[in-house]
């Protein structure tokens, strides 16, 4: 089979924010399964560097310029995917920011612009990118949408004083992830009865630029939940919230 024919028959996955960290490791693990991975990156050069790294490992990886908050980039990505592949099998909405942690903000002093900027990337961009790509995902025999959330998006886990994350509240980030979880529930409800599955995941506390070096999990472990939900069988769950094999409370 030619390389072109192999590409046409392989599953195609787009991972946003995939030039580093959990996104890059997710692309690596999906690529190792024989899936063509599109490395979404705000900076195309960084995306190309990441894709080249994956190619050296035998993975069919392509860099794609995708600043998730840029409508032009979103539309260009959809156009390229339709032209090259005719469908999208997997969308991993991984790109995110945490401005609260960077600025050590308290809820009562959080500027509205910080909230808006955080929601633009972590919520609105996810909704708008997914809506843009959904016609292509509908063309897949088994579309999978994975929204990378966080345990911080769970109101149930944040509320109790004896919760392990009770003291780690970051208002803008947490609220944006709660909103993302709501999007997961609503889209999964709309798509029930179709082959498309939509789920939220918590990757765990992972050693990344955002997670910090004190985090207990490495990148390999941090990508596992996204990969599992991206490759669910036909009888797998939809409209759920998971860490590894554990269901999380909303």
For 36, other C-beta atoms within 10 Å of its C-beta total 23
Q: Kindly report the CA angle at 77 between 58 and 37, in degrees rounded to 5? A: 20
What is the rounded distance in angstroms from the CA atom of residue 242 to the CA atom of residue 115?
A: 25
Structural domain count of the chain: 1
Q: Which domain range does residue 160 map to?
A: 3-247
Q: Is 65 a catalytic residue?
A: no
**Rounded Cα–Cα distance for residues 53 and 26 (Å):** 13
Is 166 designated active site? Answer: no
- The residue annotated as part of the active site, out of 11, 177, 197, 224, is 177
Has this prediction a pTM greater than 0.85?
Answer: yes
pLDDT in tens, the chain (250 residues): 334 444 556 899 999 999 999 999 999 999 999 999 999 999 999 999 999 999 999 999 999 999 999 999 999 999 999 999 999 999 999 999 999 876 667 899 999 999 999 999 999 999 999 999 999 999 999 999 999 999 899 999 989 898 887 888 899 999 999 999 999 999 999 999 999 999 999 986 554 655 556 654 567 788 999 999 999 999 999 999 999 999 999 9
Burial of 249 (0-12, 13-18, 19+ CB in 10 A): exposed
Contact present, 175 and 150 (Cβ < 8 Å): no
Q: Is 93 helix (H, G, I), strand (E, B) or coil?
A: strand
The DSSP line for 107-136 is GGG--HHHHHHHHIIIIIHHHHHHHHHHHH
CATH value at residue 8 = 3.40.50.720
Q: Is the C-alpha dihedral spanning 245, 119, 29, 185 positive or negative?
A: positive
In whole angstroms, what is the distance from residue 151 CA to residue 156 CA?
A: 9
Compute the distance between CA of residue 175 and CA of residue 205 in angstroms, rounded to an integer. 18
> In the 8-state DSSP scheme, what is residue 70?
-
In the set 11, 173, 224, 241, the catalytic residue is 173
Q: Which helix (H) or strand (E) holds 64?
A: strand 61-65
Please compute Rg for the chain using Cα positions.
Answer: 17
């Amino acid at each position: 089979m030619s390389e072109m024919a192999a590409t046409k028959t392989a599953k195609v996955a787009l991972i946003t924010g995939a030039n580093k960290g959990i996104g890059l490791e997710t692309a690596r693990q999906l690529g190792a399964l024989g899936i063509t991975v599109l490395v979404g990156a705000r900076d195309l050069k960084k995306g190309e560097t990441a894709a080249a790294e994956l190619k050296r490992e035998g993975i069919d990886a392509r860099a794609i310029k995708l600043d998730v908050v840029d409508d032009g980039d979103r539309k260009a990505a959809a156009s390229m995917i339709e032209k090259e592949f005719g469908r999208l099998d997997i969308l991993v909405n991984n790109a995110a920011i945490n401005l609260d942690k960077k600025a050590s903000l308290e809820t009562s002093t959080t500027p509205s612009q910080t909230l808006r900027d955080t929601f633009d990337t972590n919520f609105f961009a996810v909704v708008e990118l997914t809506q843009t790509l959904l016609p292509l995902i509908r063309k897949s025999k088994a579309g999978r949408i994975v929204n990378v959330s966080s345990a911080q998006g769970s109101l149930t886990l944040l509320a109790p004083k004896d919760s392990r994350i009770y003291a780690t509240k970051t208002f803008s980030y947490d609220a944006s992830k709660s909103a993302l979880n709501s999007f997961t529930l609503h889209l999964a409800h709309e798509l029930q009865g179709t082959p498309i599955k939509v789920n939220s995941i918590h990757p765990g506390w992972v050693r990344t630029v955002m997670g910090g070096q004190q985090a207990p999990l490495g990148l390999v472990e941090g990508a596992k939940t996204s990969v599992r939900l991206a490759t669910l069988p036909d009888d797998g769950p939809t409209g759920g919230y998971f860490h590894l094999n554990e269901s999380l409370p909303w």
